[in-house]
Amino acid sequence: MNQTLDVRGLTVRYGGVTALDGVGLTVAPGELVGLIGPNGAGKTTFIDAVCGFTRATGTVRLGHRDLTGRRAYARARAGLGRSWQAADLYADLTVRENLAVGAYRPDWRRTLAEVLRGRARHDERVAELLGIEDLLDRPADGLSAGQSKMVDLARALAADPGVLLLDEPAAGLNTAESRLLATRLRTVVDTGTGVLLVDHDMALVLGVCDRIVVLDFGRVLAEGTPREIQDDDAVIAAYLGRTARGDRRGKGDRP
């Protein structure tokens, strides 16, 4: 079921480093929100903290449920879906089996309900949505980078998340693969699933997102439509640079 993600005052400290300092954002059903910023700005830390992989203060709500303080597995079961920077598929399994693993829940009531609802059919619908139905019976080993990323996205969607947080899904993709990813992401969002997209591919983020939040040194530097963000002087100085429009990567990416 699609739900609104509502994060407030998220703060993460690693020893003396404040990786996130009171960051808040929302992702509504059917909304594609970009989260961008220079290397080390806190983007992955934000996803880790929201999903319960990093200790944090602040509040995380999904729909009517308060997930603050809950363990990572409980947040995932509540509907927080995520992908990781490296698309680590199960190489020995087929694409279909990878989706089944993504959807697995160690809860017999839910498993029974899913069987009755037609779990396999659901996975096929997800595969069709992302245009990978022809890959379902192929082993994950041997897929191209672009195909692997799409399967990784499908695996996260197979769990029927209330909202999806994607960490650099375009990393390693060429321009054509990145464009295809943009189209597929739009299709996913149009089904009503809210998506938070972290990526350094500015052509992708500026081209596909409804709204963008910019982080710098663990704080929200700016928030707005892609047009507003491209024209924001503070964002240009910290990240985009003067000639950023259409560039593949943000100028503030530290080498």
Ligand X SMILES: Nc1ncnc2c1ncn2[C@@H]1O[C@H](COP(=O)(O)OP(=O)(O)OP(=O)(O)O)[C@@H](O)[C@H]1O
Residue 48 or 123 having the CB closest to ligand X:
48
Compute the distance between CA of residue 232 and CA of residue 223 in angstroms, rounded to an integer: 9
Residue 220: strand pairing partners: 215
- CA angle 104–107–110, rounded 5-degree value: 80
Residue 123 or 201 having the CB closest to ligand X:
201
Token readout for 174 is 């060429």
Q: DSSP labels for 102-135?
A: HH--S-HHHHHHHHHHTHHHHHHHHHHHTT-GGG
Residue 17 or 120 having the CB closest to ligand X:
17
Q: What are phi and psi of 55, to 5 degrees?
A: -70, 135
Q: How far is the CB of 92 from ligand X (least distance, A)?
A: 29
Residue 39 or 174 having the CB closest to ligand X:
39
Q: How far is the CB of 99 from ligand X (least distance, A)?
A: 27
Residue 158 or 222 having the CB closest to ligand X:
222
What are the strands of the beta sheet with 163-167, ordered from one edge? 80-82, 163-167, 194-198, 32-36, 211-216, 219-224
- Please give the residue ranges that form the binding site for ligand X (CB under 6 A): 14, 17, 19, 37, 39-45
Q: How far is the CB of 40 from ligand X (least distance, A)?
A: 4
Residue 65: strand pairing partners: 62
Count of beta carbons in the 10 Å neighbourhood of residue 190: 11
Residue 69's identity, in one-letter code, is G
Q: How far is the CB of 19 from ligand X (least distance, A)?
A: 3
Residue 2 or 45 having the CB closest to ligand X:
45
Q: How far is the CB of 39 from ligand X (least distance, A)?
A: 3
Q: How far is the CB of 198 from ligand X (least distance, A)?
A: 7
